[in-house]
Amino acid sequence: MTREIPKIRKRPDPDLWLEVELTRWEWEYYLSVPLFEGTEPASEDDGLSLFGTTLLKPATAPLDITVRCLTVPPPKLQLEHVGELWRIKGGFEGVIVVPNTVMHTVVSMFSGDHYRQLDLALSRVGRRQYFISSYHFRHGRPRPVAMKDGN
């Protein structure tokens, strides 16, 4: 008696790229001394928040996206993924990890208006959740410059 082997349906590749045009950014810094003397060390934190819109097909409306960049010391960089992204109403929210050795360089590039695009490689893990396997800050398309009258 031979047993029939069920056919395996081919699924589409769940990995996708999301291109984001960055419209603005915010850098925050936090320093705090302990409330009681000698109980704990001073705490320090900095973070970069990126805001933009997705670059999709012309027939699709762009979605808003907010990504928070968190710093991590280099010894802790043995990660399974470099961030997470969640689909929310009207767009996306997410978090990416940036080594603290390069965070100030990244902030300098934003302050000089060099980075204009963020490419994210995503893997779907849930209905509205994605793991970010890689990201790439790019110079992207130049922003249009407003022309003055008479020029």
pLDDT per residue of the chain (151 residues) written in tens, 0 to 9: 566 665 554 433 446 888 899 999 998 888 888 777 766 777 777 789 999 998 876 667 789 999 999 887 666 656 778 899 999 998 999 999 998 888 889 998 988 888 999 999 888 888 899 999 889 998 866 554 444 444 4
- Spell out the residues 6+ positions from residue 66 whose beta carbon is closer than 8 angstroms to its own: 49, 50, 51, 91, 92, 93, 94
Nearest-angstrom CA–CA distance, 73 and 14: 31
In a domain, 134, yes or no: yes
Q: Is the separation of the CB atoms in 92 and 122 below 8 Å?
A: no
Q: Is the separation of the CB atoms in 137 and 106 below 8 Å?
A: yes
What range defines the domain where residue 107 resides?
16-33+40-138
In a domain, 9, yes or no: no
Nearest-angstrom CA–CA distance, 12 and 118: 24
Which among 85, 93, 86 is positioned nearest to 65, based on CA atoms?
93
In a domain, 54, yes or no: yes
In a domain, 8, yes or no: no
In a domain, 106, yes or no: yes
The tokens for 49 are: 């928040």
The tokens for 149 are: 């009258």
Nearest-angstrom CA–CA distance, 8 and 12: 13
Q: Where are the beta strands (DSSP E) in 8-63?
A: 15-32, 43-54
pTM of the complete model beyond 0.85: no
In a domain, 148, yes or no: no
The tokens for 38 are: 């000698």
In a domain, 49, yes or no: yes
- Spell out the residues 6+ positions from residue 113 whose beta carbon is closer than 8 angstroms to its own: 143
* Entry field: residues in the chain: 151
H helix count then E strand count, the chain? 1, 7
- What is the domain count for the chain? 1
Nearest-angstrom CA–CA distance, 130 and 95: 11
In a domain, 4, yes or no: no
